[in-house]
C-alpha cells in the first residue's frame, strides 16, 4: 500500500511506529514481532553459521546488523529490533556466558552476596561497545520510515538467569535469595539497574527510537515482591531515561503479570505495555484505557506456526477489538523456530489490509 493512502494522521509522522506514542490511533496499526530475526528464517541460519556461534553473532556488529535487517527486507515491519540478547549484560559484567547448542544459556551462578565481587560493572561499557556499534550500523542502513527498537532485560528477569545459571521454570533460586537476604539480592538488582540505564542510554545515543524492557519472568512473583523487584527497578530505569532522553518511548513487557499489568503501568511510567499471549481481550481493550499507554500484543506465536484460517480469524478478532486505540500489533511472546516464514507474510498482509 503506498504511504499516501494511509490515514492522514499517520502521514504526519515519518515513522508510523512512533505515531501511537504521540497520541495517534493510527490504522492499520504498526506491526513488528518479538524475535522477528531468528532461526525460522533461512537467511538468519546462514549468517549465524558464518558467525560461528550465537554469542559471536551478538558481538559481531556487521553480522548482527545484517540479521536485524533481514526481517525488515522480507516483511517491511514498521520497526526493527536490535539483534542481541538480554544475557549480554551479565556477560559484560564479567559473569561468563555460553549458549549450549539446543539447550540454551549457561552462566557461572551467583548465589549469594559474596559472589557479587565477581562482577565488575566498570567493564560493562567496553564489553558492550560492539552492541552499540551494531545500533549505529543498523541506523545507517535502515529505511528512514522504519523505527529502531533497542532493549534490555529487566533487572528481575536478568537476575533470575544470573542466579540459576540457566533458564528455569520457577526461578526458585532467585526468589529464595530475595526472601532470605533482601538487602544482598537488592545489591545485585541495583547493579543491573545502573548498568541497564547506561546501556539503554547509549543505544538511544547510537540511534534507537524506542526501547523495550523484557521482564519475561515478572509473573513468578507475589505482589510485595512484584512491587520490589519488578515495578521499582523498572520505574527507576524509566525515570533515569526520561531525564536523559525525554522523547524516547519505553515499552514494558511484564510477561505473566496478569491483572497486575495496570498497576505496573501506573507505577513504572512506561509508555507502552507489551501484553502476553494469556492477556484476555477485555484487558487488552479496556484495562489500560485510563492509563496514558500504548497497548502492544498479543497473538499466540503458535498460531503463526499453525497458519491458515485459525490464524486469520484470530488476527481479525484482535484488529476488531483494538480498532480506534493506540495499538501496536505483535505476538504475545517470541516467534518460535518452527514458524513457516510464509505464515509471517500472511499475517503482515492481513494486518496491513484493514482500513485500506
Ligand atoms: O540459536 C540461536 O540462534 C539462539 C536463539 C536466540 C535468539 C534468536 C536466543 C537465545 N536469543 C535470541 C535473540 C533475542 N533474545 C532477541 C533479539 C531480537 C528479536 O528479534 O526479538 C531478544 C529481544 C531476546 C530477548 C531474550 N533472551 C529474552 C526476553 C524475551 C523472551 O523471549 O522471553 C530472554 C528470556 C532471553 C534469554 C534467551 N536467549 C536465548 C534463549 C534460548 C533464551 C531463553 C533461555 C531459557 O529461559 O531457557
Residue 35 has pLDDT above 50, yes or no: yes
**pLDDT tens digits along 257-316:** 999 999 999 999 999 999 999 999 999 999 999 899 999 999 999 999 999 999 999 999
Residue 348 to residue 2: CA distance in whole angstroms: 15
pLDDT-above-70 percentage for the chain: 96
Identify the band that residue 356 occupies on the pLDDT scale cut at 50, 70 and 90.
low
334 lines ligand 1 (CB under 6 A): yes
137 lines ligand 1 (CB under 6 A): no
Residue 98 to residue 112: CA distance in whole angstroms: 21
Cell of 13: 509522522
Atom of ligand 1 nearest to the CA of 105: 45
134 lines ligand 1 (CB under 6 A): no
* Residue whose CB lies within 8 A of the most ligand 1 atoms, among 74, 86, 220, for a mutation test: 86
The CB-based long-range contact list for 281-290 (8 Å cut-off, 24+ gap) reads: 281/317, 281/321, 283/259, 284/318, 284/321, 284/322, 285/321, 285/322, 285/325, 287/259, 287/261, 287/262, 288/261, 288/262, 289/325
Residue 250 near residue 211 (C-beta atoms within 8 A): yes
**pLDDT tens digits along 134-173:** 999 999 999 999 999 999 999 999 999 999 999 999 999 9
* Closest CA to ligand 1's atom 31: 216
The answer, as to whether pTM is greater than 0.85, is yes
Any catalytic annotation for residue 118?
no
pLDDT confidence of residue 1: 36
**pLDDT tens digits along 288-300:** 998 999 999 999 9
Ligand 1 center from residue 85 Cα (angstroms): 6
Residue 326 near residue 294 (C-beta atoms within 8 A): yes
6, 16, 48, 255: the active-site residue: 48
Q: How many CB atoms are located within 10 Å of the residue 100 CB?
A: 10
Residue 6 has pLDDT above 80, yes or no: no
Cell of 46: 546462514
Atom of ligand 1 nearest to the CA of 101: 1
39 lines ligand 1 (CB under 6 A): yes
pLDDT confidence of residue 290: 87
- What value does the mean pLDDT take over residues 1-24? 67
Which domains does the chain show, CATH number per domain?
A: 6-352 (3.20.20.210)
* Burial (CB count within 10 angstroms: exposed 0-12, middle 13-18, buried 19+), residue 221: buried
* Closest CA to ligand 1's atom 32: 334
SS3 59: coil
**pLDDT tens digits along 61-77:** 999 999 999 999 999 99
Any catalytic annotation for residue 236?
no
Helices (H) and strands (E) in the chain, counts: 17, 9
Residue 324 to residue 289: CA distance in whole angstroms: 11
Residue 208 to residue 201: CA distance in whole angstroms: 9
Residue 295 to residue 330: CA distance in whole angstroms: 10
Atom of ligand 1 nearest to the CA of 161: 47
Q: 211: part of which helix (H) or strand (E)?
A: strand 210-215
Ligand 1 center from residue 100 Cα (angstroms): 13
List of residues 6+ apart from 349 with CB closer than 8 A: none
Amino acid at each position: 500500500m503506498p504511504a499516501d493512502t494511509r490515514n492522514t494522521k499517520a502521514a504526519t509522522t515519518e515513522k508510523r511506529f512512533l505515531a501511537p506514542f504521540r497520541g495517534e490511533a493510527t490504522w492499520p496499526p504498526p506491526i513488528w514481532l518479538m524475535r522477528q530475526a531468528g532461526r525460522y528464517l533461512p537467511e538468519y541460519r546462514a549468517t549465524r553459521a558464518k558467525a560461528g556461534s550465537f554469542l559471536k553473532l551478538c558481538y559481531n556488529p556487521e553480522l548482527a546488523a545484517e540479521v536485524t535487517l533481514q526481517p525488515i527486507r522480507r516483511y517491511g515491519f514498521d520497526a526493527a529490533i536490535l539483534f542481541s540478547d538480554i544475557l549480554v549484560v551479565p556477560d559484560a559484567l564479567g559473569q561468563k556466558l555460553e549458549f549450549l547448542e539446543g539447550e540454551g544459556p549457561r552462566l557461572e551462578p551467583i548465589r549469594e552476596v559474596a559472589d557479587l565481587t565477581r562482577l565488575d560493572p566498570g567493564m560493562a561499557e567496553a564489553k558492550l561497545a560492539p552492541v552499540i556499534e551494531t545500533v549505529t550500523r543498523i541506523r545507517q542502513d535502515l529505511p528512514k520510515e522504519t523505527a529502531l527498537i533497542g532493549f534490555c532485560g529487566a533487572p528481575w528477569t536478568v537476575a533470575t538467569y544470573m542466579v540459576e545459571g540457566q533458564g528455569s521454570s520457577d526461578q526458585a533460586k532467585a526468589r529464595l535469595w530475595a526472601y532470605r537476604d533482601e538487602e544482598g539480592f537488592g545489591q545485585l538488582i541495583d547493579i543491573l539497574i545502573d548498568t541497564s540505564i547506561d546501556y539503554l542510554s547509549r543505544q538511544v545515543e547510537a540511534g534507537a527510537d524506542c526501547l523495550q524492557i523484557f521482564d519475561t519472568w515478572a509473573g513468578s512473583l507475589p505482589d510485595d515482591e512484584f512491587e520490589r523487584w519488578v515495578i521499582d527497578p523498572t520505574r527507576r530505569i524509566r525515570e533515569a531515561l526520561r531525564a536523559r532522553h525525554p522523547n524516547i518511548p519505553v515499552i514494558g513487557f511484564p510477561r505473566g503479570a496478569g491483572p497486575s499489568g495496570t498497576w505496573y503501568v501506573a507505577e513504572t511510567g512506561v509508555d507502552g505495555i507489551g501484553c502476553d499471549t494469556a492477556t484476555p481481550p477485555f484487558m487488552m481493550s479496556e484495562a489500560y484505557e485510563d492509563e496514558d499507554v500504548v497497548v502492544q500484543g498479543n497473538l499466540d506465536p503458535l498460531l503463526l506456526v499453525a497458519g491458515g484460517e485459525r490464524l486469520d480469524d484470530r488476527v481479525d478478532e484482535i484488529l476488531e477489538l483494538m480498532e480506534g486505540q493506540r495499538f501496536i500489533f505483535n505476538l504475545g511472546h517470541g516467534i518460535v523456530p518452527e514458524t513457516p516464514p510464509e505464515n509471517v507474510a500472511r499475517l503482515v498482509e492481513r494486518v496491513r489490509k484493514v482500513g485500506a
